């Protein structure tokens, strides 16, 4: 049981979305496990927090901003052993056209139907969105602050607070919404996720294919569903 908890925590650490988050969460992780699993922690610290650090999710590594970054990242990755196979570096950059795979549409459509309250902030060339995760329907300014400033003081707080708000950035140019970025685990694997697609649906940037709207098995189909419901899916 205890070992299961440890593995679960390593999985959570792996989801750290930046160097800064990884460093801070690592410290919290060590503090939590140091006494109970001192031998393992000593090994882990040496091998996976010092020698080979490239095994966590890091948006900077996926979309390097300059060629220099790309080269240095490639070198780092080449030199490092990883826990799992990483996606080829900069893959997204070389994709002329990002696509939405069929499996993302239904989950995006379901997410839109939850009608969560999303906080949006317009920046110079892009729009930032803060999306409540899990069962939450809305988020407070304080919760956004906690997420942005990494205000978690134990590893358990990191697990609870670092993943309850998703952060999506969409280009200001609505035609380029497919280049949006998100900090959720699915995005790190597919460069696309239900939050990006869901926001694009809500903002009327795109329309889901009719098949995505099929009601999942287990729910009752209702005839003559008013088209009012459809309109409510869209932001304002
Ligand atoms: Zn996402």
pLDDT tens by residue, 101-149: 888 999 999 999 999 999 999 999 999 999 999 899 999 999 999 998 9
Q: 200 alpha carbon to ligand 1 midpoint, in Å?
A: 12
Q: 131 alpha carbon to ligand 1 midpoint, in Å?
A: 10
- Pick 137 or 216 by higher pLDDT: 137
3-state secondary structure the chain: CHHHHHHHHHHHHHCCCCHHHHHHHHHHHHHHHCCCCHHHHHHHHHHHHHHCCCCCCCHHHHCCCCHHHHHHHHHHHHHCCCCCCCCCCCHHHHCCCCCCCCCHHHHHHHHHHCCCCCEEEECCCEEEEEEECCCCCCCCHHHHHHHHCCCCCCHHHHHHHCCCEEEEEEECCHHHHHHCEECCHHHHHHCCCHHHHHHHHHCCCCCCCHHHHCCCCCCCCCCCCCCHHHHHCCCC
Mean pLDDT of the region 60-67: 47
- Say which range, 77-86, 111-120, 148-157, has the weakest mean pLDDT: 77-86
Could you list which residues have their CB under 5 Å from ion ligand 1? 182, 184, 187, 193, 195
Q: What is the mean pLDDT of the chain?
A: 79
Is the ipTM higher than 0.85? The answer is yes
Q: Encode pLDDT of 178-198 as tens digits.
A: 999 998 988 888 889 999 999
């Amino acid at each position: 049981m205890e070992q299961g908890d440890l593995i679960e925590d390593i999985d959570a650490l792996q989801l750290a979305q930046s160097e800064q988050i990884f460093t801070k969460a690592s410290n919290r992780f060590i503090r939590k496990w140091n006494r109970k699993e001192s031998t393992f922690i000593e090994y882990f610290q040496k091998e996976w927090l010092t020698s080979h650090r490239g095994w966590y999710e890091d948006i900077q590594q996926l979309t390097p901003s300059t060629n220099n970054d790309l080269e240095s990242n490639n070198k780092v990755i080449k030199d490092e052993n990883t826990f799992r196979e990483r996606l080829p570096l900069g893959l997204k950059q070389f994709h002329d056209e990002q696509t939405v795979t069929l499996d993302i549409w239904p989950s995006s459509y379901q997410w839109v139907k939850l009608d969560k309250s999303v906080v949006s902030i317009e920046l110079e060339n892009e729009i930032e969105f803060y999306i409540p995760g899990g069962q939450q329907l809305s988020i407070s300014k304080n919760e956004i602050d906690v997420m942005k400033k990494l205000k978690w003081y134990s590893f358990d707080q990191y697990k609870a607070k670092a993943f309850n708000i998703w952060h999506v950035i969409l280009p200001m140019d609505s035609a380029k919404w497919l280049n949006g970025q998100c900090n959720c685990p699915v995005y790190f694997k597919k460069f696309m996720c239900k939050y990006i697609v869901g926001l694009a649906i809500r903002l009327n940037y795109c329309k889901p294919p009719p098949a995505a709207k099929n009601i999942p098995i287990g729910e009752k189909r209702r005839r003559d569903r008013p088209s009012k419901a459809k309109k409510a899916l869209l932001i304002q």
